[in-house]
């Protein structure tokens, strides 16, 4: 049996429309061990969130469909289980913090009711114990007057407060895997630090694995053991957090790191990556990053490189093909 808690193998999630097929996730493989935090980074439109929704099997009411691959969780292929079994897994074994809390919370139910329902179902608490557990969770994520907020509706809270409610909801049943999609986006730096510490505590005490989807490389450096860099629906680099920051391999990863402002850095302008992520329904031939890459070679425009192992991880780039390097 695999030592990994989660094994995503060659996952392909495509969206079908009258205009054609959008290859949002195109052959992604990611593994996460028990108690490990893996960061998924990349610009908007790279397929990060669709990958997480595929794991949760939450694409049923969308044009999206998983067309290939497997998602092995705790020795079980999630693509083979029934919808009833999947409902039992969601919120209990796998929980998710969504990017948009207002669209994730039901506006007609009180905050406490929405969290308490999952606690009663999965932890088998009675109503009194479940309510107190919900209040304790709200308090733990920095919500003031938790015993009053528990009886309020989502529209009565600010965006940051709603985000904290989503985090409390995800952590309430102490899941084996926590998928966090931009969990601290709407929060000020003080509350962000508090939430990250709470996630660390959950990881240490319960050995919870975390898939952390974020644009914030500072959060990645603080939280993650390994980092997966995605671009145009594919993994382009994977390495330990130390190796990635110390010696990035892929030109796209180098561009992302160069765009991060640094303390005491005397520069007039931040680094940037020219151009935009290509539309998934109109991808270039060859390497998908070639139109934006300062190191692009002829072969980059003609043939896409494979994701190959190298000394510190995996990288999808012709620059590390030994035969090509000799020719150049």
Is residue 264 domain-resident? yes
Convert the pLDDT of each residue in 241-286 to its tens digit.
Answer: 999 999 999 999 999 998 877 765 565 666 778 888 888 878 889 9
Is residue 84 domain-resident? no
Is residue 29 domain-resident? no
Whole-number CA gyration radius for the chain: 21
Convert the pLDDT of each residue in 277-319 to its tens digit.
Answer: 888 878 889 999 999 999 999 999 999 999 998 878 999 999 8
Is residue 4 domain-resident? no
Which of 108, 142, 171 terminates a domain? The answer is 171
- DSSP line for 109-146: S-HHHHHHHHHHHHH---HHHHHHHHHHHHHHTT-TTH
Say whether 216 sits in a helix, a strand or coil: coil
pLDDT at 282: 82
Which of 171, 193, 221 terminates a domain? The answer is 171
Convert the pLDDT of each residue in 94-147 to its tens digit.
Answer: 999 887 766 778 899 999 999 998 899 888 999 999 999 999 999 988 899 999
Which of 171, 190, 222 terminates a domain? The answer is 171
Count up the domains in the chain and report the number: 2
What tokens appear for 270 in the block?
């931040």
Q: How far is CA 244 from CA 68, 210, 233, in A?
A: 29, 18, 20
The range of the structural domain enclosing residue 274 comes to 254-327
């Amino acid at each position: 049996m695999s030592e990994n808690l989660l094994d995503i193998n060659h996952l392909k999630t495509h969206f079908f429309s009258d205009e054609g097929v959008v290859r949002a996730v195109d052959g992604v493989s990611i593994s996460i061990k028990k108690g490990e935090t893996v960061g998924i980074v990349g610009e908007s439109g790279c397929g990060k969130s669709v990958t997480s929704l595929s794991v949760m099997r939450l694409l049923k009411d969308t044009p999206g469909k998983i067309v290939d691959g497997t998602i092995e969780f705790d020795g079980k292929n999630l693509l083979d289980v029934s919808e009833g079994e999947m409902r039992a897994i969601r919120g209990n074994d796998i929980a998710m913090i969504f990017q948009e809390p207002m669209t994730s919370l039901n506006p007609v139910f009180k905050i406490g009711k929405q969290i308490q329902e999952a606690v009663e179902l999965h932890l088998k608490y009675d109503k009194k114990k479940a309510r107190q557990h919900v209040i304790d969770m709200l308090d733990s994520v920095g919500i003031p007057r938790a015993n009053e907020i528990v009886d309020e509706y989502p529209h009565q809270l600010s965006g940051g407060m709603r985000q904290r409610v989503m985090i409390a909801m995800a952590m309430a049943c102490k899941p084996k895997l926590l998928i966090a999609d931009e969990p601290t986006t709407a929060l000020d730096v003080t509350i962000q630090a508090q939430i990250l510490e709470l996630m660390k505590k959950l990881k240490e005490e319960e050995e919870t694995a975390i898939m952390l989807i974020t644009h914030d490389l500072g959060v990645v450096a603080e939280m993650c053991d390994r980092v997966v860099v995605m671009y145009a629906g594919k993994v382009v680099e994977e390495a330990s957090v130390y190796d990635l920051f110390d010696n990035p391999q892929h030109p796209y990863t180098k561009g992302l790191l160069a765009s991060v402002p640094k303390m005491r850095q005397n520069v007039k302008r931040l680094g940037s990556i020219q151009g935009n992520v290509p539309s998934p329904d109109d991808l270039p031939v060859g390497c998908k990053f070639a139109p934006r890459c300062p190191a692009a070679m002829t072969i980059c425009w003609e043939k896409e490189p494979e994701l190959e192992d190298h000394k510190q991880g995996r990288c999808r780039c012709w620059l590390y093909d030994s035969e090509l390097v000799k020719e150049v």
